[in-house]
Chains A and B, each alone.
Chain A
Amino acid sequence: MDAQHIDGNGVAGLLGEIAGLLGEIGGAEMTTVVRTCHSCGERRMIGEHRAYRGAGIVLRCATCDDVAVVIGVQEQRLVVEWRGTYTVGR
């Protein structure tokens, strides 16, 4: 079993920063946002996804391991790709 990942909880602060940048609503707590995987169709909370740290951060579906979010991390900007469908409570 791979022991190198953390989970979507561990990078939640960074994801919140991204949601804030995208939505101009300030930082946002995202771990309970539900993602429907574009690959396997499973619905899981962001907090359950597996987070890997490489040069940047990759969040992967906890069911099928396919990529959910990629974050290129720089001092002055974040480069983000979201894959899948996200359901957010209002």
Chain B
Amino acid sequence: MPPVSRGFRRRASAEADTSRIPPGQYRTTDFPVLSAGPTPRTPLDRWSLAIDGAVDAAREWSWQEFLALPQETVTVDIHCVTKWSKLDTTWTGVAVDTLLDGVDTSAEFVTAWCDGGYTTNVPLEDLAGGRAWVVHEFAGEPLSPEHGGPARLLVPHLYFWKSAKWLRGLSLTIEDEPGFWETYGYHNYGDPWREQRYWGD
């Protein structure tokens, strides 16, 4: 039994509205930067966003074409598996529904793939129905590279490792294909409200 450090306690959750904080999380007001590797620096004139995989026809947008799509600004809470939650974050971007509009597919899963090689997997239905965006602005400013700029996926109802930074494409897949962290013990789905952090949770 380790010695108790007199007077030490976990971070206080000075939060009246705890209904917004999932189990095991604490609220932060800063914005920690986490990543699996160095920050990619893709110039905008070489950037593209693709929808590919098990679709009738792959589609791709250049940066200008992406910005010309219908844009939305949303304010959401985000929850990281490392236990911090950040409330009322504001993002601007394109709804994944817009990107998928008219796409013909029998796929049920999506692999998000990114500059730097990161991947993560999400059921297709979790990216649809107004629950996900590809965003390029945070708090009214262009998304910084350390936070995933030029553009990242935003799926706030799942743990934030699913909101892949430096997004370059969404590949629709027939089979569910675990992404990077999902391969190393992190939960395949990742619902913060059911505290699905790891395999078997």
Residues on A close to B: CB < 8 A?
2, 4-5, 50, 52-56, 58, 60, 65, 67, 70-72, 74, 77-79, 81
Contact = CB atoms under 8 A, between A and B. Distances in A.
A50 B81 CA distance: 22
B185 A54 contact: no
The secondary-structure label for the interface of chain B is: loop
Interface residues of B, number: 19
Interface stretch (B10-18, B30-38, B54-62, B124-132): B30-38
Given A4-B146, A54-B161, A72 B181 contact: yes
A70 B184 contact: yes
Nearest to B197: A74
Contacts of A77: 185
Contacts of B185: 56, 72, 74, 77-79
Nearest to A70: B184
B64 interface: no
Contact of B37 (A55, A65, A79): A65
Given A65-B38, A74-B198, A56 B146 contact: no
Interface string B75-86: 000001110000
